[in-house]
Structure formats: C-alpha cells, structure tokens
Structure 1
Amino acid sequence: MKAVQFSEHGDRDVLTYDEFDDLEPGRDEVLVDVKAGALNHLDIWTRKGLPGVDLEMPHIPGSDAAGVVEAVGENVTRFEEGDHVAVSAGVACGQCEFCRDGDESLCVRFHIIGEHVRGVHAEEAVVPEANLVEVPKHVDWEVAGSASLVFQTAWRMLVDRAGLEAGEKVLVLGASGGVGHAAVQIADYAGAEVFATASTDEKLEYARECGADHVINYEDEDFAAQVKELTGKRGVDVVVDHIGEATYQDSLKSLAKGGRVVTCGATTGPNPDAGLNRIFWNQLSVIGSTMATPGQVDDVLELVWDGTFEPRVRETLPMSEAERAHEMIENREGFGKVVVIPDSEL
C-alpha cells in the first residue's frame, strides 16, 4: 500500500507518499480501507518533533480518517466487513482509575493515533476496535474523515469542561481553524452569544455562517478591547483559546468576573505569564481539556451525521500532495479543514 510518511523530523520536505508494508489487523483491531482523512495542527507538531515523543520510523501521520472495514480481528464484535467507520484518535488503557470512572480522556496512559503511534493517512489503516465509530452510509467521506478530532475536542471543551449554559457569552479565538469553527457551531447550538476572531474579512464571514453573532479581525483590532466594548465593559463568560502565549493575557482580559478560559492547546507557545493577579482578583478559572470520552464522541458525531454540525472543508488534495496540505495548515490559509484522499481513490 501507499502512505504519507516521514523517516526523520523536519520541514515539509521530509514528507513522502511511498510504498509501506501491507497491514494485518491484530486480535482487537480493524483494517480500514481509507477513503478520506483530514489534517490537524497536531500533524505539524508531530512532523517537526514533539519533546518526549519517540516515534518508530518511518512514521505515518494523521489522526482523522474514515473508510470501509476491510477485515477484522478475531475478537472484534462491533464491526464487520463493509461497515463505514471513522477514527476517534484518543487511545485509553481502559484499566486505570480514570478509565474505570468513565473519563477515559484522563487516562494515565492516554495517547493519540498519529501523534504517539502510527497514523491513518494511508490507503489502509489498522485501528483498535475501540477507536472506531460507525458512520451512516449517507454521510460523505470528506465529512466523515474530517469531523472527529475537532468536534469532539470542542464539544468536551465547551459542554463538559466549561459547562456552557444557554444565554452565556463565548469568545472563540482562531475561529477559522478546525477546533475554532467547531466551537463556534457548538456554542451557537448551546444557545450562547458567540464572539469570534479571525485574520481576514473572508474568514470572519465564514464564522458568521457557522453561527458567530459578533466577529473581530484580530489583525486590525485589539480583540480584548473590542469584546469589552461589545459587552458594555462586562466581558464574556467563556474564552476558547487554543493559541497560547500570543493570546493568553488578552483572553484573561476578555473575561467577565467569574469567567473561565478553556484551552486544548498552545500553538504559539505553552508558557505565558500566569496572570495570577487578574485570576484571583476576578475569580477566573483556567481549564484544560483534551479529547472526549467515547460517550461524548458519540453525542457530538450524531449531530454531525444528521447535519446539525458541518465540518467546513477548505481544500481536498491527493495524499501525494501532503506537503501542500501541511503548508496550508502552517500558513493558516482558508477556513476549516484540509482533507487528503488516497491517490488510488481519485
């Protein structure tokens, strides 16, 4: 089979689309004929090299994909040949205290397909049974292959960790990205008043289409000052911030008394000034979040499959153009997800 892969960390030129050993499913695994996958910023970090993550090389990137079940291991009971499935990339041990309590995303041995182990941007992928969700036959492959990671992440951030309630005000930073555009839709669905930032007027218009009530071009305006002005100096109840050092202080400034910042990443750096004086004086909460539990994944993906939520696709490329796909993510080109398809499917 052919797969996107790299044999060393580095810039985009380390990526190739070459032959890779054929795969066979283990006892608890499923072999998937991949029809479409999608990129996340995680793929960029993995390619460049993450501290403390020692990958087996060559490594296949990719945490999002969907396809048809081709074969199953002898212990697999949930799927059979011909089923349509999508990957849910968070792998839990199922045995630690957090898994036993039903919050697998807090698993002490939690890891992510495509980040810590071989990913799914290939003609075929072997995936643990527990990391697949059924996809209704009417759902397009581009939708099925691009929804899981960002929508489950945004759902857990807002619904579970931040406890978002109808009528609250929510600021979504980077609303044109994968998690950002999912968060706008989820906040709107929850009945919140949604504020969104992006870098161009075109991206802001897309954010409005996804449900944003107010949009701010952060290249032209101080978003914290704009939020205060739009809310009569009150601020918002929740900020969704996956950007990190570059935005953290302004995220705190944007909050109303008792507000909360919820974060799932730090693309501009993980170590901002803590801002403890603002946190204790305004009684703010800073909440971490990663990926969702299986039940939360099912809840949010049902709303994708029925059309309530829509992963916006900015570009669809053959896997042989993986360098270009990575370039689009790194350069923040366009709005929504970048999808890659095996060349054999084109």
Structure 2
Amino acid sequence: MRAAFFTGQNLPLEISEIKKPKPVKDQVLIRLHYAALNHRDLWIQQDSVPQQPVILGSDGCGVIEDVGEEADPLLVGAEVVINPSLFWGNNPIVQGDTFKILGYPDAGTFSDYVCISKKQIFEKPEHLSLEESAAVPLAGLTAYRALFSKARLRAKEKVLITGIGGGAALWAMQFAVAYQARVYVTSSSNEKIEKAKALGAIQGFNYTDPEWTQQALKEAGGFDIVIDSAGGPQFSKLFDLMMPGGRIAIFGRTAGNIPDIPTRLLYWKQISIHGTTMGTRDEFLSMLDLLESRNLKPVIDQVYSLEQINQAFERMKTANQFGKIVLKIK
C-alpha cells in the first residue's frame, strides 16, 4: 500500500510502498477513500523532529475491509468516518494523560489503509459523500466543542468567528448559523468575507484595517461569543468587542502567543476565556447528529491526489484556502 511519510522537520512528505497492516483485537482495517489536511499536520512538519518516519493525517473516510478477532465481522463493507480523538479518558472537561490525536505519533490517514479501534469509527452521515465526510472529523469536532460545550451558544446570540476560511472556523460559522445565532467573521481577505456572507454570516471585518474593531462595534454593538483560532497580538482587541458576560473560546495559535490581556476588561466585563482541544466521543456523536439534523455539508477548497500531497500543503501554507483541503486516495 501507499503511504505518505513525515521523515524530518520541514522536509517534503515521502510516498512509499509498505505492507498493508493487519487488524488485531478490536481493530478494523479501513480502505481509505479520502483524507483531509489540518493545520496540525503542517505544524507537526514545521515543529517536530520524528524519531522514525511516521504517517500523518487525522481525517479520513472509507470502507471497512477486515476486522480483528474482537470486532464484529458484519462491519466489513461499512462506510465509516474516523474520530481522530484517541484515549480521551473519563473526564469530559479535559483530556487525560493518555490522550492522543490520530496521525502523530501513531500512523494516520495519509495512506491507502489505516487500522484503528472499532471505538473510533462511526457510520458515514447519509447525506454526505465519502469525500465530504473526510472533511468533517477534526475540524468539526473542534468547532462543536468550542461553540457548544465551552462557549455555551444560545440562539440569537451574536458570535464573532476570527480568521474565516479554515476548516474549524467554517464549521463553527455553519453550526452557529444553523443554531440561529447572528454570526460575524474576520479575515484579511475581502473575498473570503464575501464567501462567508454567502454562507450565512451577517457581516465581516478585514482585520488588516486598523479601524476594524470600531467598525465591528458600530455594526454589531458587541459580541456574546468569540471563536478564535489565532491568538497573537490581535487577541487583546477582542476584549473591547465583548458584551458583559461574554465568552471567548480559543483552539489555535496561527498568529503566535498572546502578548497581553487587558485585565480590567477581563474582570469588569466578567469575560470567560476557554481553551479547548478536540473533544469527547459523545461530542463527536453529537456533532454528527447536528450535521444530519440540519443537513450541513462541509466547504471543500480543493481536492488533490495522494501523490500531490506536498502541493496540497503548499496550498495550505499560502493561507488562501476557503474550506477543507481534501486528498483523494482511492
């Protein structure tokens, strides 16, 4: 089988032929049809030094081809999507010490096949294609937990989603719109803002404009919730935009560390900041239920073949994407 290996920091992924894995115990062997990229995969390539070559990739959808001795043989032939949140633990509030995300250090989905516990598979949503289903797992789960479990979204609340265009930000926007929130977005691209408005956002603000926060206050009057995946110097500006009792959920660091927080605004407005990562099995199931009940579909930016995986990552590096970057494997 083919697999794309991460062999060293800032090196292109190498596609090699390896032996197909065999499922054991409660594992299933999935013939992957599609996988999808996440910024996590890019950060691993930029920040990590692997001890040995490893197959990256957290998102995948395909068909079960074989099962281990503790898995039901009737699963063979099922179209499934993979939950990449592994070994969360028993506390829904925070992941345990054994928590991992599929695709590093364990072998991930940038390959023809993957073996994984039957506990991590869910039936593909009926209204989604295999390609669309591959664009759901990591970003959809992250957005769901941030918006509902952490920020506790209520209908009609005003929500600001920063850096629209990536998978998790778009899922957060689609979930919030479906939940009848009043949704606003930020981007450095006016084109992305217009695309977001076409999907249900009320308005967007270009954060390269020094006046964007004043524009946002004039337009919206303040926000109950901010979903942020950037951090960095812009983060401190969010506090001026928050309504009293507002909630900020953050799950990324694309703009780097947060240099300062206006402490007085934090306590006087009684603002809550929630860090969040991935989510539980129950949240994954609830996220899939939301997709099906509201007939939601992912936004897909471009589709590449497995052999074009390094081109796909170059696309991600440009930050021009609007939606998920998907790999066609079969």
TM category (shorter chain) comes to over 0.9
**Could you tell me which of 111, 133, 139 is aligned with 2:122?**
133
- May I ask how many residue pairs the two structures share in their alignment? 330
Residue number in structure 2 paired with 1:23: 21
**Could you tell me which of 267, 284, 288 is aligned with 1:297?**
284
Deviations 1:136-191 (A, max 9, x none): 46631111111111111111111111111112110000111111110111111122
Taking structure 2 as the reference length, the TM-score comes to 0.94
User: Which secondary structure state, in structure 1, belongs to the residue aligned with residue 215 of structure 2?
Assistant: helix
1:227–1:137 distance in 2 versus 1, CA, 3 Å: closer
CA distance in 2: counterparts of 1:123 and 1:111, whole angstroms: 22
**Could you tell me which of 162, 165, 172 is aligned with 2:151?**
162
Task: Report the CA distance between 1:302 and its aligned residue.
Answer: 2.8
CA distance in 1: counterparts of 2:211 and 2:288, whole angstroms: 35
Task: Report the CA distance between 1:275 and its aligned residue.
Answer: 2.9
Q: State whether residues 8 and 50 of structure 2, in contact with CA within 8 Å, keep that contact through their aligned partners in structure 1.
A: no
CA distance in 2: counterparts of 1:78 and 1:340, whole angstroms: 28
Structure 1 range deviating more: 128-137 or 118-127: 128-137
**Match for 2:284: what amino acid?**
V
Residue number in structure 1 paired with 2:32: 34
Is it true that 1:228 corresponds to 2:223 in the alignment? no
Structure 1 range deviating more: 39-48 or 269-278: 269-278
Deviations 1:62-121 (A, max 9, x none): 100100001111112496110001111111164xxxx1x5x1852232110013322111
Residue number in structure 1 paired with 2:45: 47
1:104–1:113 distance in 2 versus 1, CA, 3 Å: farther
**Match for 2:245: what amino acid?**
G
Residue number in structure 2 paired with 1:81: 76
CA distance in 2: counterparts of 1:228 and 1:27, whole angstroms: 56
1:309–1:222 distance in 2 versus 1, CA, 3 Å: farther
Residue number in structure 1 paired with 2:296: 309
Task: Report the CA distance between 1:209 and its aligned residue.
Answer: 2.5
Is it true that 1:175 corresponds to 2:173 in the alignment? no
User: Which secondary structure state, in structure 1, belongs to the residue aligned with residue 233 of structure 2?
Assistant: coil
Q: State whether residues 16 and 320 of structure 1, in contact with CA within 8 Å, keep that contact through their aligned partners in structure 2.
A: no
Residue number in structure 1 paired with 2:3: 3
User: Which secondary structure state, in structure 2, belongs to the residue aligned with residue 334 of structure 1?
Assistant: coil
**Match for 2:135: what amino acid?**
S
Is it true that 1:269 corresponds to 2:264 in the alignment? no
Q: State whether residues 147 and 304 of structure 1, in contact with CA within 8 Å, keep that contact through their aligned partners in structure 2.
A: no
**Match for 2:200: what amino acid?**
G
Is it true that 1:250 corresponds to 2:237 in the alignment? yes
1:72–1:109 distance in 2 versus 1, CA, 3 Å: same
Q: State whether residues 85 and 135 of structure 1, in contact with CA within 8 Å, keep that contact through their aligned partners in structure 2.
A: yes
1:43–1:222 distance in 2 versus 1, CA, 3 Å: farther
1:136–1:285 distance in 2 versus 1, CA, 3 Å: closer
Structure 1 range deviating more: 13-22 or 143-152: 13-22
User: Which secondary structure state, in structure 2, belongs to the residue aligned with residue 286 of structure 1?
Assistant: strand
1:311–1:222 distance in 2 versus 1, CA, 3 Å: farther
1:166–1:104 distance in 2 versus 1, CA, 3 Å: closer
Q: State whether residues 135 and 305 of structure 1, in contact with CA within 8 Å, keep that contact through their aligned partners in structure 2.
A: no
Q: State whether residues 70 and 82 of structure 1, in contact with CA within 8 Å, keep that contact through their aligned partners in structure 2.
A: yes
CA distance in 2: counterparts of 1:120 and 1:170, whole angstroms: 33
